[in-house]
Amino acid sequence: MSFEEIGIDNAYRVLAPRPTIIVTSINKKGEVNAAPFSFTMPVSMNPPLIAFASVKTHDTYKNIIETEEFVINIPNEDILKELWITGEKFPYGVNEIEKASLTQIDSKKVQPPKIEECIAAIECKVHWIKGAGDHDVIVGEVLQVSVQEDSLKDGLLDVEKIRPVLHLGGVNFVVGDHLRKVE
Ligand SMILES: Cc1cc2nc3c(=O)[nH]c(=O)nc-3n(C[C@H](O)[C@H](O)[C@H](O)COP(=O)(O)O)c2cc1C
């Protein structure tokens, strides 16, 4: 094996496949928005904080600036096609949950709804937002976490059953059914 140098703009391509989320948000008028993101990670356990990065032009970003709440929905293989539809560019105010024929249900602690067909929902309020190059990092404080029944095994996501979706780049996703344990 030998390394070859590739352009620095490919760093995120090799930090992959990445967990993919659908962020739901609302604006002041109460209009709902949904969009996929894969620049995402937990950043603190106590308090529980989760971050994702968005460009400023996304409706998601505008809504979160306006209302300071959002929900991180965790999709799985069953709704990959729908996930892709939520990533299409619709005019501001259009509800991508409806466009993708998904179902919105009330969240417990925040105004933006969660997506019924997702395997988990993490309700967040903004902790801070800070510019980072061509994206802004949005850190959310977790207020509520819900998972579909039987999605956990021994406290961990039952990945062989629920088959989460990982983003490789562009139209390419990874849905792995191999579980490898670090001994
Ligand atoms: C799988 C996937 C992952 C994406 N990840 C990101 C991301 O991490 N950050 C970002 O700014 N845009 C990301 N995008 C692009 C946005 O989802 C897309 O531009 C969307 O239309 C934005 O919607 P909105 O304007 O309704 O918020 C991703 C798209 C896809 C399909």
pLDDT at residue 30 is higher than 80:
yes
For residues 8 and 83, what is the distance between their CA atoms, to the nearest angstrom? 28
Query: How many separate helices (H) and strands (E) can be counted in the chain?
Result: 5, 14
Q: Half-sphere exposure of residue 146, counting CA atoms within 13 Å on the CB side?
A: 16
Q: Which atom of ligand 1 is nearest to the CA of 63?
A: 27
- CATH (one of 2.70.98.40, 3.10.105.10, 2.30.110.10, 1.20.58.100) for 8-169: 2.30.110.10
Atom 7 in ligand 1: residue holding the nearest Cα: 37
Task: Give yes or no for residue 104 CB within 6 A of ligand 1.
Answer: no
- Using only C-alpha atoms, what is the Rg of the chain? 16
Distance of CA 94 to the CA centre of its chain: 19
Confidence category of residue 183, pLDDT binned at 50, 70, 90: confident
Dump pLDDT digits (tens) for 74-105: 999 999 999 999 999 999 999 999 999 999 99
For residues 24 and 22, what is the distance between their CA atoms, to the nearest angstrom? 6
Give distance in angstroms: CA of 60 to centre of ligand 1: 9
Average pLDDT on 159-163 reads 92
Dump pLDDT digits (tens) for 43-62: 999 999 999 999 999 999 99
Look up the pTM and report it.
0.97
Dump pLDDT digits (tens) for 119-138: 999 999 999 999 999 999 99
DSSP at 108: S
